[in-house]
Each structure stands twice: as structure tokens, then as C-alpha cells.
Amino acid sequence: MSNYDSISQEISEIAKKLLKESKVDKVIGFGLGRFTKEITPIFIKKAEDADRLIFNKNCEMSLTKYLLNYKGEKVAIVAKPCDSRAINAYLSEDLIKREDLVIIGINGCPGIEGNTACEECNIRNAVICDYSVGQEMSEEEIQAEIEGFEDEIDKMNQAERLAYFQNEFERCTRCYACREACYVCNCEQCFTDSNKPKWLGESVKLNDNFTYHLMRGIHMAGRCVNCGACEMACPEGIDVRAFAAKMCSAAEEIFDYKSGMDPEQKTLLSEYKVDDSEKGFME
């Protein structure tokens, strides 16, 4: 597994070179805020500022969503392995152009503190990049890292799962921090903001909270890369990721499908063949 300090140094050197040679207009990465000194996304335009770029255990945000703000510009981005998969998903959906993008991919990702997704992650190297930093991990090393992991929700029966999620979603204030943090949530109008039809009430009662989280989870089926950004963004500490993570594992178990592994990969539910051998929901 790679070292945070060495990764930070490599990122800074690559960013400085790209900006000096005018290969990109800006670099999107992680750094300390000007006033709070907390880790935040930063946008570097000058080579002399490249030393501000760092990577450590608190770089929890997914930077991929910012790419949607810079379409048509030449941009470099620092990508954790999960973020590199999110970039592939954007490319497959034609939301961004590969020629506008320089990807600085992190190999041997040492993970993010407090992010439960990292405990089960079996993709520790960037799946797409132009420059790589860190030390690539072998499949054997990755399996050794996640050996012994057990999903506690998988051990629950149906009644226990319902009770678990009722307890979690009851605390939800519907601040939508999870939606804003998620790369998948990029619709021009979210169903939560729709008036015709109106899907949700104004309250933060359990029924409406359940509707929000379940509908969002279904929208993410076959698209979520299980990065955990939603869970890390939640101010209430709700296990927001659990339902989407289950959708990810179901897609892999049933369809041998893992989102974001290839820029040419179609999303799981985006194609339908009339002669499909599997029964459809209308049959």
C-alpha cells in the first residue's frame, strides 16, 4: 500500500509539470483551505501553487463531479481508484470528453479514514489514468487487505434489515448532502425537486425519508462505484451507503457487472435486447 506523503509529492510534481508546459488550464485536487486549514477540493491554475496539492487520510470527497463544471476546458484531476471508475462512467455516458482530461490516478490507495467503503474495496489501483502515483498493488495484496471482511447487513434477516434502515433513515433531515456529494446525482432536476409529479412531502417523516433514499438507490443501480462519499458527507452519520452498496454487490453477483471499469462499458440498465435469454419483468 502506498504512502500518503510520497503520493502527495508525486501529485505536486506532475501538476507543476502540466501547468508549466501549459498542457492543462487547471488541476483539480485536494489541499488545505485558505482559512479553515481543513482538507477541501482546490483548483490550481499556476505551477507555483502546485505544492498546495496533498493527499492524506482525510481526502474524502469525490472530485469527479467538478468535471461537469469545466466542459470544454483542458483539466487535470487527481483520482482515487473509485474516482477513476466514476470518470469512466462519465465517459461512457458521454458527459465529458476524454481529450479534455488528464487523469492523475492513485495506485495502491491507502484509503480514507472513517470511510467504510474502503474496508471492502477490492479496486485499489486507478483503472484509467494518464499519470500514475503511488505503488500499484497486486491482486494478492488487495485480497489480503480485505480478508475477513463481513457485511453485517448481509447477516440480518428481512425484519432486522427493515428495523435497521428505519432507525437510520428516521434521523435523516433531508439536507441532501449525500446527493450533492455523489457523482451519480447529476440530473438537471432531481426527483426530490419535482412538483409534477410530486414524489415527496415537505416533512422529514420516516415515510418520505424512506421514499427519498430508496428511489435514489434505485437510480444508482449499475452506476454507483461504492466510493462512500455519500456516507462521509452525511452530517447525521447515517449509513447512507448501505443500500447502494448492496445494489453494487447484487449487480456483480447476478450480472458479473462492476460499474466504471471501462470507458466503453455501458451502464447496467441502459441496454435491452429483444432476444435476451433472461426473462424480463413483463413476462
The tens digit of pLDDT for each residue in 216-246 reads 888 888 889 999 999 999 999 999 998 888 8
Supply the pLDDT for residue 214: 85
* Percent of the residues in the chain that have a pLDDT greater than 90, as a whole number: 64
Supply the pLDDT for residue 78: 98
Distance of alpha carbon 231 from alpha carbon 223, whole angstroms = 17
Residue with cell 447484487: 250
The tens digit of pLDDT for each residue in 95-105 reads 999 999 999 99
The tens digit of pLDDT for each residue in 35-93 reads 888 999 999 999 999 999 999 999 999 999 999 999 989 999 999 999 999 999 999 99
Distance of alpha carbon 174 from alpha carbon 192, whole angstroms = 10
Judged against a pLDDT cut of 80, whether residue 270 lies above it is answered with no
- DSSP H helical ranges for the chain: 4-20, 81-92, 117-120, 139-146, 158-169, 177-181, 206-219, 229-233, 241-255
Distance of alpha carbon 112 from alpha carbon 55, whole angstroms = 10
The tens digit of pLDDT for each residue in 114-152 reads 999 999 999 999 999 999 999 999 999 999 988 888 888
Supply the pLDDT for residue 6: 94
Grid coordinates belonging to 2: 502506498
Task: Name residues whose C-beta falls within 8 Å of residue 2's C-beta, 6 or more positions apart in sequence.
Answer: 106, 107, 108, 109, 110, 133, 134, 135
Q: Give whole-number Cα distances, 180 to 108, 175, 230, 231, in Å.
A: 27, 9, 8, 11
Distance of alpha carbon 65 from alpha carbon 76, whole angstroms = 13
